[in-house]
Structure 1
Amino acid sequence: MKRPFWPRRRGKLSEQRRQIRIATWEGVPSTIFQVLLGGPFLTGYLLYLGANSSQIGFVLAMTTLVNIAQLGAAYGIQRIRSRRMALIWFIAVHRLLWAGTGLIPFLFSKDVWVTVYIVTYTAAFMGNAVSAMLWTSLISDLIPAKVRGRHFGIRNTVLNALGSVCLFAGGLLLDRYPGGEGFLLLFIPIWICAVANIVIYFFYPDLPFERSKETAFLPMVRKPLQDAGFMRAAGFLAGWLLMQTLIVPLYSYAMLELMRLSYSTVSSLTVIQTVAMMISFYVWGNLNARYSNKKLLFWTLPLIAGSCLSWGLLSLLPALPVLIVSHILLGVGIGGFNQLAFNFTIGDTPKSERPMYVAMYSALTGLTSFLGPLAGGAVYQWMKSLPPALDWFELFGFPACIGVLMLVMAFTLGKRVLTTD
């Protein structure tokens, strides 16, 4: 089955294919919305609002810390009547609040812009944490296991192609209209896509739900905790993300603030990363049909580490070629990591207990992914006080050191945990 979400022949679609197509098209406004609000545009908007590196690190970290709320959501999902309606409510909270941050300069005085952004952003991603749990539960029931890897490989490829176009166009827009005018123009399609995305979810299927065999919260939480293989892998991946998020989320900050690159250059580099990710989705998806999620996850680790390590080449080579190599490695590595980690949580776990397994993984990785950018932002803030002779360490020394540590971690603990069944 080579094309899991398109029909094989003309004529009326089966009900399942129609539902999968709706779930695929839903990704279009969602991708535009998240690309234009995230990545270099998120960093740029925070800099426009007056945020420093520590505050930027905190905002980037908060996205994942709120995933701890998924533990409660996994318990609550057992008692709701309609996963679809609950999904719509929490999706609306996330989309409307995050899109609403574009109104901050018009509604508040400048001295509280960053504070209001952080509060609104945190509330938005509380909604996102719950909606992600509901969406994962619903989509894992909708997509058959035998085509899941290939389906998400193709879906992610198509949506990341769209994301690349949005990144490039957004960068050109902000360079042409710098400051508040540019961000206002950027938020117009964001507001349109937020509403469109919410509307499309009303057409999602509301599939029957296989509930947990446990009825109390603590016994439900103990299910994944007692699964030794799952916890070893989840614990390692959480530790890996702690190292990764020390530096990777702050790439845009380093390029915009330290290297003084233009928005169009940074967005173009992010496009290169996204194209590499897009191509890798299809490759990883096909490999996933032959090899286990965990073994393939291991081979994504050296690529991500290599992306950080390559920043050390800035001491020898021109900046642009080095950054291109770094973003290509990151795109291929992150693309595989995210796709395979998702398949790991929904494919290598028991169906009736899947919500709590997903929640446990999200809570562990959410906590470490919160601490990583927070610590990374604090380190960058501290490095500003270093003497000018050590400016090289702020620019490329710190990322290269993290890259070395990640390589060691991958080929020692990672190899033992992910390649040994």
Structure 2
Amino acid sequence: MISLQPQPEVSSEDRERGLRLLVTEAIFSGGTAALTTGVILTAFALHLGASNAMVGILASAPFLAQLLQLPAIGLVERMRARKRIAVFTSLLGRLMLAIMALLAFFSGTLPLLAFLAAQLVLCGLGAIGSCAWNAWMRDLAPEDRLGTVFAKRTVWLTAISLLLGLAAALALDWTAPGSFDRDLVFAGMFAAGCVTGLISARVVAGMPEPLMPPAPGPVDLVELLRRPLRDGNFRRLLVFVASWQFAINFATPFFTVFIVRQLHFNISFVMVLSVASQIANILALRLWGTLSDRFANKSVLAVCAPAYILAIVAMAGASQFADRDLVKLWLVGLHLLMGATIAGVTLANTNIALKLSPKGAATAYVATNAIVTAAAAGLAPILGGLLADFFAARQFELLVRWSSPNGVFALPFVLTRWDFYFLIAGVIGLYAIHRLSLVEEHGEIERREMVGQLLNETRRTIRNISSVAGLRSTTDLPAALLRDARARMRQRRTERS
């Protein structure tokens, strides 16, 4: 019989069983995420007739929900029953996916409002459960095996996400937009996500929970968050984080809307772009991890951040080409670039927050960084959605004309609707990069030198491919994920110390 009560003593057999279940659970939770979040969530909202403002609110929900982790800290400290909190929030949250599956067969304002309410409940409960889950896993997994265990989870999560992403692309490609078959596909995906989510909660319920030690006293959240704000260098980092998150989340949540409504491509093509971006992200993680360890996180950001912003701005170029095949190649190339560079940004952004946190106060600093990230990333898509109608009624035209004895060459450049978003994101992104230059980090090098190191690493990889060792390294992705996960686990230990 399954018990949700903490155990005063966890035997080695129970711990090993729990660690095996931890990896198994990733298959089901990864399936839920792959079938009900990201591009699929936006596509489903468009299928229901969501406005641009609604798309923006849906995109902001996961970020703003993270603010609930602050009161969740108090809940965990008071109840001291992390498994119970994680299981119940998971069960209640995943049941919202069943409601979303039923809504696939309806249209109108009320179904959309119900869809939004279900998503908000799902994200809010997920944030509360995540707080309990992280503290629980910290005590369950032995420190010397944290990297190995969570790396296996990462491998399964990645594999499931890619496989189900491709399956979803094929299913959407075989059905016509607005058809009953498309209703069935979306209903099937969210119903399957609900089932896998409930199975995930069942697996979690079978894992042992070590008993929490007695509470040392009440947690003063206000004082906890004040400390980082008194640190001048960390304040400069927070300004960069806020402006950066606002820049990228002002535009990226609307990529699906742009590609489907303005460029008139199918949702299945958007899914292919998402898969391509994920693959580039995975392959680039090892390179950025090596460079961030060898040099400084700020140096990695100085290369990745401008490249990512440039790719966002270049999305406006997709609406300038008449050749549909050229547009497809353009979008694939940009998504590969964005996938590779956002891997470096995410890794370095997390690392630099930890590195600039003084020993003994990392939790407060990282928590403040997370709050700023959630607030900026949550507000940006809401504002973007509200401004969509404003930009939809405006157009900017620029004509480049070259005259010579041989004739006249004219190149028109027209910005409409979502093109404005990409340029605005670029301007805010440039400001964020400027703010990054004011942050001080030991060991940083100039951008030009960092680019040289990047090219050297790339050339070394290409040369190795022609050798036996190089062929073997092409199958070394799981090992790379293990190493990256170990690094992340070390960061989490520092954060919680």
Q: 1:150 to 1:229 in 2, by over 3 A?
A: farther
**Which of the residues 185, 203, 222 maps onto 1:182?**
185
Counterpart residue number, 1:10: none
Counterpart residue number, 1:168: 166
Which amino acid in structure 2 is aligned with residue 91 of structure 1? S
Counterpart residue number, 2:282: 278
Q: 1:377 to 1:153 in 2, by over 3 A?
A: farther
- Structure 2 residue matching 1:392: 3-state secondary structure: strand
Cα deviation, residue 222, structure 1: 3.3
Counterpart residue number, 1:65: 64
CA contact (8 A) 1:29 1:193 kept: yes
| Further displaced range: 79-88 or 318-327 | 79-88
Residues 274-298 of structure 1: CA distance to partner in whole angstroms, max 9, x if unpaired?
Answer: 1111222343445555456565455
CA contact (8 A) 1:31 1:159 kept: yes
Which amino acid in structure 1 is aligned with residue 122 of structure 2? A
Q: 1:275 to 1:242 in 2, by over 3 A?
A: same
Normalised TM-score (structure 1):
0.83
Residues 92-134 of structure 1: CA distance to partner in whole angstroms, max 9, x if unpaired?
Answer: 232222443112245x773311111111111111112212222
Partners of 2:237 and 2:210 lie apart in 1 by 30
**1:367 partnered with 2:375:** yes
Partners of 1:72 and 1:227 lie apart in 2 by 24
CA contact (8 A) 1:150 1:285 kept: no
Partners of 1:22 and 1:349 lie apart in 2 by 33
| Further displaced range: 339-348 or 121-130 | 339-348
- Structure 1 residue matching 2:80: 3-state secondary structure: coil
Cα deviation, residue 358, structure 1: 4.7
Counterpart residue number, 2:209: 206
- Structure 1 residue matching 2:438: 3-state secondary structure: helix
| Further displaced range: 340-349 or 163-172 | 340-349
Residues 300-351 of structure 1: CA distance to partner in whole angstroms, max 9, x if unpaired?
Answer: 3223213202224333682112211221122123333344545666787689
Counterpart residue number, 1:129: 127
Counterpart residue number, 1:266: 270
Q: 1:304 to 1:120 in 2, by over 3 A?
A: same
Partners of 2:98 and 2:137 lie apart in 1 by 25
Partners of 2:144 and 2:310 lie apart in 1 by 32
**1:113 partnered with 2:108:** no
Cα deviation, residue 420, structure 1: 5.3
Which runs of 5 or more structure 2 residues have no equivalent in the other structure? 1-11, 177-181, 398-412, 444-497
**1:381 partnered with 2:389:** yes
Q: 1:144 to 1:383 in 2, by over 3 A?
A: farther
CA contact (8 A) 2:56 2:381 kept: yes
Cα deviation, residue 246, structure 1: 0.6
How many residue pairs match? The answer is 407
CA contact (8 A) 1:224 1:360 kept: yes
CA contact (8 A) 2:97 2:191 kept: no
CA contact (8 A) 1:87 1:135 kept: yes
**1:336 partnered with 2:344:** yes
Partners of 1:146 and 1:299 lie apart in 2 by 33
**Which of the residues 382, 389, 393 maps onto 2:416?**
393
Counterpart residue number, 1:414: 436
Cα deviation, residue 381, structure 1: 2.4
Normalised TM-score (structure 2):
0.71
Which amino acid in structure 2 is aligned with residue 24 of structure 1? V
Partners of 2:70 and 2:135 lie apart in 1 by 13
Counterpart residue number, 2:5: none
Cα deviation, residue 45, structure 1: 0.8
Which amino acid in structure 2 is aligned with residue 326 of structure 1? L
Partners of 2:142 and 2:237 lie apart in 1 by 24
Q: 1:154 to 1:394 in 2, by over 3 A?
A: farther
Partners of 2:161 and 2:76 lie apart in 1 by 31
Q: 1:192 to 1:98 in 2, by over 3 A?
A: closer
Partners of 1:200 and 1:271 lie apart in 2 by 28
Q: 1:408 to 1:230 in 2, by over 3 A?
A: closer
CA contact (8 A) 1:78 1:212 kept: no
Partners of 2:144 and 2:235 lie apart in 1 by 24
- Structure 1 residue matching 2:250: 3-state secondary structure: coil
Cα deviation, residue 66, structure 1: 2.2
Partners of 1:34 and 1:227 lie apart in 2 by 37
Cα deviation, residue 270, structure 1: 0.7
Q: 1:375 to 1:216 in 2, by over 3 A?
A: closer
Counterpart residue number, 1:191: 194
Cα deviation, residue 42, structure 1: 1.1
Partners of 2:279 and 2:56 lie apart in 1 by 26
Higher radius of gyration, 1 or 2: 2
Partners of 1:201 and 1:304 lie apart in 2 by 37
Q: State percent identity of aligned pairs.
A: 22
Which amino acid in structure 2 is aligned with residue 248 of structure 1? T
Residues 357-388 of structure 1: CA distance to partner in whole angstroms, max 9, x if unpaired?
Answer: 55433322111112111122233322221259
Q: 1:347 to 1:16 in 2, by over 3 A?
A: farther
Using CA pairs under 8 Å that are at least 6 residues apart, name the structure with larger relative contact order, 1 or 2. Answer: 1
Partners of 1:220 and 1:388 lie apart in 2 by 48
Counterpart residue number, 2:254: 250
Q: 1:182 to 1:215 in 2, by over 3 A?
A: closer
Counterpart residue number, 1:93: 92
| Further displaced range: 262-271 or 34-43 | 34-43
**1:45 partnered with 2:49:** no
**Which of the residues 279, 282, 307 maps onto 2:311?**
307
Counterpart residue number, 1:9: none
Which runs of 5 or more structure 1 residues have no equivalent in the other structure? 1-12
Partners of 1:227 and 1:213 lie apart in 2 by 26
**Which of the residues 324, 341, 356 maps onto 2:332?**
324
